[in-house]
Amino acid sequence: MEKEELSLEKVKYTRRRFFILGATAVAGVALAGIVGGGLIAFFFPPKRFRKKIGGWQKVKPASECPEGMAVTSSYFGIPVFILREGGKVKAFSAVCPHLGCIVKWDPEQKVFPCPCHDSFFTSQGLVQKGPARPYNLLPFEAKEEEGMVLVSLPAPEKLKPYPSWFRFAMQYGG
Protein backbone atom coordinates (compact mmCIF):
# COMPACT_ATOMS: atom_id res chain seq x y z
CA MET A 1 0.00 0.00 0.00
CA GLU A 2 1.20 3.35 -0.87
CA LYS A 3 0.99 6.24 1.46
CA GLU A 4 -0.93 9.14 0.14
CA GLU A 5 0.94 12.35 0.36
CA LEU A 6 -0.84 15.33 1.78
CA SER A 7 -0.76 18.25 -0.51
CA LEU A 8 -0.76 21.80 0.73
CA GLU A 9 -4.08 22.48 -1.04
CA LYS A 10 -5.77 19.58 0.73
CA VAL A 11 -4.54 20.80 4.12
CA LYS A 12 -5.82 24.32 3.44
CA TYR A 13 -9.18 22.94 2.41
CA THR A 14 -9.40 20.78 5.54
CA ARG A 15 -8.45 23.66 7.81
CA ARG A 16 -10.85 26.03 6.09
CA ARG A 17 -13.64 23.51 6.42
CA PHE A 18 -12.77 22.91 10.07
CA PHE A 19 -12.92 26.63 10.87
CA ILE A 20 -16.16 27.15 8.94
CA LEU A 21 -17.79 24.23 10.73
CA GLY A 22 -16.45 25.46 14.05
CA ALA A 23 -17.70 29.02 13.47
CA THR A 24 -21.08 27.70 12.36
CA ALA A 25 -21.33 25.54 15.48
CA VAL A 26 -20.40 28.44 17.77
CA ALA A 27 -22.92 30.73 16.05
CA GLY A 28 -25.61 28.02 16.30
CA VAL A 29 -24.98 27.49 20.02
CA ALA A 30 -25.02 31.25 20.64
CA LEU A 31 -28.27 31.66 18.70
CA ALA A 32 -29.86 28.72 20.54
CA GLY A 33 -28.82 30.28 23.84
CA ILE A 34 -30.28 33.65 22.95
CA VAL A 35 -33.57 32.23 21.67
CA GLY A 36 -33.80 29.64 24.45
CA GLY A 37 -33.04 32.21 27.13
CA GLY A 38 -35.68 34.54 25.70
CA LEU A 39 -38.28 31.76 25.68
CA ILE A 40 -37.47 30.76 29.24
CA ALA A 41 -37.72 34.39 30.40
CA PHE A 42 -41.02 34.79 28.53
CA PHE A 43 -42.68 31.71 30.04
CA PHE A 44 -41.04 31.95 33.47
CA PRO A 45 -40.42 35.65 34.17
CA PRO A 46 -38.19 36.51 37.12
CA LYS A 47 -40.05 37.31 40.33
CA ARG A 48 -39.05 40.96 40.20
CA PHE A 49 -41.19 41.31 37.04
CA ARG A 50 -44.15 39.49 38.55
CA LYS A 51 -45.13 42.10 41.09
CA LYS A 52 -48.82 41.92 41.78
CA ILE A 53 -50.64 45.14 41.24
CA GLY A 54 -53.61 46.37 43.18
CA GLY A 55 -55.03 48.92 45.51
CA TRP A 56 -56.60 52.26 44.77
CA GLN A 57 -54.88 54.50 42.25
CA LYS A 58 -55.77 58.01 41.12
CA VAL A 59 -56.37 57.81 37.39
CA LYS A 60 -58.19 60.97 36.26
CA PRO A 61 -59.45 64.29 37.57
CA ALA A 62 -63.24 64.04 38.00
CA SER A 63 -63.63 67.22 35.92
CA GLU A 64 -62.28 65.32 32.88
CA CYS A 65 -65.05 62.70 33.10
CA PRO A 66 -68.20 64.29 31.61
CA GLU A 67 -71.64 62.68 31.92
CA GLY A 68 -72.32 60.02 29.27
CA MET A 69 -68.75 59.92 27.97
CA ALA A 70 -66.15 57.24 28.52
CA VAL A 71 -62.61 58.51 28.91
CA THR A 72 -59.49 56.36 28.91
CA SER A 73 -56.85 56.17 31.55
CA SER A 74 -54.26 53.70 32.78
CA TYR A 75 -54.14 51.54 35.90
CA PHE A 76 -50.61 50.09 36.31
CA GLY A 77 -50.33 49.89 32.52
CA ILE A 78 -53.80 48.41 32.02
CA PRO A 79 -56.01 50.63 29.84
CA VAL A 80 -59.32 51.42 31.56
CA PHE A 81 -62.43 53.35 30.64
CA ILE A 82 -63.95 55.75 33.15
CA LEU A 83 -67.66 56.26 32.47
CA ARG A 84 -69.99 58.62 34.30
CA GLU A 85 -73.68 57.76 34.09
CA GLY A 86 -76.39 59.11 36.36
CA GLY A 87 -73.79 60.91 38.45
CA LYS A 88 -72.04 57.64 39.30
CA VAL A 89 -68.55 56.77 38.14
CA LYS A 90 -67.86 53.31 36.70
CA ALA A 91 -64.65 51.83 35.37
CA PHE A 92 -64.01 48.92 33.01
CA SER A 93 -60.94 47.30 31.57
CA ALA A 94 -60.50 48.43 27.97
CA VAL A 95 -58.97 45.04 27.15
CA CYS A 96 -61.34 42.73 25.29
CA PRO A 97 -61.34 39.40 27.15
CA HIS A 98 -61.54 37.49 23.86
CA LEU A 99 -58.00 38.06 22.54
CA GLY A 100 -56.75 41.26 24.17
CA CYS A 101 -57.71 43.94 21.64
CA ILE A 102 -58.44 47.40 23.02
CA VAL A 103 -62.12 48.29 22.79
CA LYS A 104 -63.28 51.78 21.82
CA TRP A 105 -66.20 53.90 23.06
CA ASP A 106 -69.01 54.77 20.64
CA PRO A 107 -70.80 57.77 22.24
CA GLU A 108 -73.71 57.70 19.75
CA GLN A 109 -74.72 54.08 20.40
CA LYS A 110 -73.31 54.07 23.95
CA VAL A 111 -71.46 50.79 23.42
CA PHE A 112 -67.88 49.54 23.53
CA PRO A 113 -67.13 47.88 20.14
CA CYS A 114 -64.07 45.69 19.78
CA PRO A 115 -62.32 46.62 16.50
CA CYS A 116 -60.71 43.21 16.05
CA HIS A 117 -63.47 40.59 16.14
CA ASP A 118 -66.77 42.48 16.09
CA SER A 119 -67.73 42.04 19.75
CA PHE A 120 -69.93 44.70 21.35
CA PHE A 121 -70.28 45.54 25.03
CA THR A 122 -73.00 47.71 26.65
CA SER A 123 -72.24 50.76 28.77
CA GLN A 124 -72.54 48.35 31.71
CA GLY A 125 -69.68 46.26 30.23
CA LEU A 126 -71.96 43.34 29.32
CA VAL A 127 -71.18 41.50 26.09
CA GLN A 128 -73.95 41.91 23.49
CA LYS A 129 -72.54 39.88 20.61
CA GLY A 130 -69.37 38.49 19.14
CA PRO A 131 -66.70 35.95 20.03
CA ALA A 132 -66.04 37.56 23.42
CA ARG A 133 -69.03 35.65 24.79
CA PRO A 134 -69.36 34.64 27.60
CA TYR A 135 -66.90 37.23 28.96
CA ASN A 136 -67.96 40.76 29.88
CA LEU A 137 -65.58 43.69 30.18
CA LEU A 138 -63.91 43.43 33.57
CA PRO A 139 -65.47 45.99 35.92
CA PHE A 140 -63.04 47.82 38.16
CA GLU A 141 -64.03 49.36 41.45
CA ALA A 142 -64.29 53.15 41.05
CA LYS A 143 -64.93 56.07 43.35
CA GLU A 144 -64.51 59.83 43.52
CA GLU A 145 -62.44 61.47 46.24
CA GLU A 146 -61.16 65.03 46.47
CA GLY A 147 -61.92 65.77 42.82
CA MET A 148 -60.11 62.67 41.53
CA VAL A 149 -61.40 59.38 40.16
CA LEU A 150 -59.80 56.42 41.90
CA VAL A 151 -59.81 52.89 40.46
CA SER A 152 -59.01 49.52 42.01
CA LEU A 153 -58.67 46.04 40.58
CA PRO A 154 -61.55 43.78 41.67
CA ALA A 155 -61.03 40.92 44.09
CA PRO A 156 -59.24 37.86 42.62
CA GLU A 157 -62.39 35.72 42.80
CA LYS A 158 -64.04 38.06 40.26
CA LEU A 159 -61.22 37.23 37.81
CA LYS A 160 -61.72 33.44 37.97
CA PRO A 161 -64.29 33.19 35.12
CA TYR A 162 -61.89 34.89 32.69
CA PRO A 163 -59.21 33.15 30.54
CA SER A 164 -55.85 32.52 32.23
CA TRP A 165 -53.91 34.96 29.99
CA PHE A 166 -56.43 37.69 30.89
CA ARG A 167 -56.18 37.00 34.65
CA PHE A 168 -52.37 37.11 34.41
CA ALA A 169 -52.45 40.44 32.52
CA MET A 170 -54.83 41.96 35.06
CA GLN A 171 -52.91 40.76 38.10
CA TYR A 172 -49.41 41.63 36.89
CA GLY A 173 -50.05 44.66 34.69
CA GLY A 174 -50.61 45.14 31.01
Q: How far apart are CA 49 and CA 134, in angstroms?
A: 30
Cα torsion 67, 69, 73, 78: sign: positive
Report pLDDT for 26: 94
Exposure letters 49-75 (e unless 16+ CB within 10 A, then b): eeeebeeebebbeeeebeeeebbebeb
Domain boundaries of the chain, sorted by first residue: 8-44, 57-172
How many angstroms from the chain centroid is the CA of residue 14?
52
Q: Is the confidence at residue 145, as pLDDT, over 70? A: yes
For the entire predicted model, the pTM comes to 0.65
Specify the higher pLDDT residue, 45 or 106: 106
- pLDDT category at 166 given cuts 50, 70, 90 is confident
| 142: amino acid identity, one letter | A
The pLDDT of residue 49 is 58
Segment 103-120 shows an average pLDDT of: 88
| pLDDT for 97 beyond 90 | no
The span from the CA of 105 to the CA of 85, in Å, is 14
**Residues 169 and 75: beta-carbon distance below 8 Å:** no
pLDDT per residue as tens digits for the range 3-62: 666 555 555 567 778 888 889 999 999 999 999 888 887 777 666 655 667 788 888 888
User: What CATH class is the domain 57-172?
Assistant: mainly beta
Q: Is 104 exposed, middle or buried (0-12, 13-18, 19+ CB in 10 A)?
A: middle
Burial class (CB in 10 A: 0-12, 13-18, 19+), 135: middle
Average pLDDT over residues 66-80: 82
What is the overall mean pLDDT for the chain?
A: 82
Give helix then strand counts, H and E, for the chain. Answer: 2, 9
Residue 161, pLDDT above cutoff 70: yes
- Give ∠ CA 47-48-53 in degrees, rounded to 5: 95
Exposure on the CB side of residue 26, measured as CA atoms within 13 A:
6
The pLDDT, as a whole number, for residue 29 is 94
> How far, CA to CA in Å, does 53 sit from each of 63, 86, 128, 138, 167?
26, 30, 29, 15, 12
The residue that leads in pLDDT, 44 or 83, is 83
Confidence of residue 84 (pLDDT cuts 50, 70, 90): confident
